[in-house]
Structure 1
Amino acid sequence: MQYTRAVSQEEQARLLQEFAVDAAKSFLQAAADARAAMAELYPHSPDLKRYWDKFEITEEELEELIVLLTQRRKRPLKRHQAKEIASSGDASAPG
């Protein structure tokens, strides 16, 4: 890696390993923080549980979530009922 000032290949390998571990820790912490922030919305949006109640959401789900949260910014205190999620992941299933 050209941006490190390692004095040896061993030191460079150690730095790269440290960077990789730090990056993984940062990602996992950001994901946990995002899930916790989503869970804080539970009193008004229990239907969002499908986004915070799993380890990782797909890119498609992320796009849906962004649209949904953007729409809800207009009426943040409106309550949104929880919906049962069909096994196929269809959020429109009756609840």
Structure 2
Amino acid sequence: MTVGMIAFHYPKPAHFEEFVARVHRVRDVFLATPGCLSAEVWTTPDDEAVVSTVTWESDAAFAASFAVVNESAGDDIVFDERESRPREITRLRSR
């Protein structure tokens, strides 16, 4: 069973492009981990949100991938004052 994640990030307008770059760096780390099947970065048409989607081959790959991201992505994954509201993150499972 594959697993996935969709995350909506809400950067303040002055930090939008910087935030897009941050999410791309995290995407690159995810893609380099074993078991990560895909990782993409999207934005809403109104530039209100940066949306990331990631899929993994298993729960074990998901956990291992996050361990690597937490270690190597550093400040790029930390919620801070550049965001206007909390992130919305949903985990998914294929059926």
Same fold (TM over 0.5): no
Q: Which has the higher contact order (CA 8 A, sep 6+)?
A: 2
Which structure has greater strand proportion?
A: 2
Which structure has greater helix proportion?
A: 1
Q: What is the TM-score with the length of structure 2 in the denominator?
A: 0.27
Q: What is the TM-score with the length of structure 1 in the denominator?
A: 0.27
